[in-house]
Structure 1
Amino acid sequence: MAKTVDDLRDEIREAVGRYERVESTAFTKEALAAICEAVDYDIGAGSLPSKSRMRAGILWKVGELPEDDPERASSAFRKAELAAIATALRRE
């Protein structure tokens, strides 16, 4: 059976040392930062960048975006993007 969006999010959370969520929620800034670290996207020191900046960096690092462009990642990850991220993390 195909994985749901919630299944993919939880797989990604667990792959980066976060915890499963009982309810369906998008990634927090902290979870996005953990994913950034796992895919070797440097978010710098200090305060966390915007969610769109981190989503764009993640998608760029896993080959879903041709460049690190936050305007192309202004909303939550789509199912195909989650699948690409999960696949990249499985290879780690």
Structure 2
Amino acid sequence: MAVGRFEREESAAFTKEDLAAICDAVGYEIDTSGRLPPKAEMRAGILWKIGALEDDNAEEAPSSFRKDELKAIETAVQ
């Protein structure tokens, strides 16, 4: 705040449960019988399903979604 930046009241990070719900909404199947997969794996699957990645390789997935990716996810789930 000392430099004039916006202070978020809540965290903008997605939880594993949030990502699992998005996976379901975009049609990326994950195993939910036990523990949820790692966040990177779910982000990669989501990005693959919306066409932002060529495959669902977790090593290629960014650590967070970019604004254009969020807009593409929004379009995919509507």
Alignment TM-score > 0.5, same fold? yes
Q: Which one has the bigger helix percentage?
A: 1
The CA distance in 2 between the partners of 1:89 and 1:59, in whole Å, is: 13
- Name the CA distance, whole Å, in 2 between partners of 1:48 and 1:74: 19
- For structure 1, the residue ranges without an aligned partner over 5 or more in a row are 1-21
Matches within 5 A, 1:38-77: 38-44=25-31, 45-77=33-65
TM-score by length of 1: 0.69
RMSD in angstroms over aligned alpha carbons?
Answer: 1.2
- State the percentage of identical aligned residues: 62
Distance in 1, matches of 2:37 and 2:62, equals: 13
User: Residue by residue, what CA displacement relative to the aligned partner does 1:12-34 show, whole Å, maximum 9, x if unpaired?
Assistant: xxxxxxxxxx6241110000000
Letter in 1 for 2:48: W
5+ unaligned residues in a row in structure 2: which ranges? 1-8
Amino acid at match of 1:37: D
TM-score, structure 2 normalization:
0.81
Higher relative contact order (CA 8 A, sep 6+): 1
In structure 2, the partner of 1:89 is 77
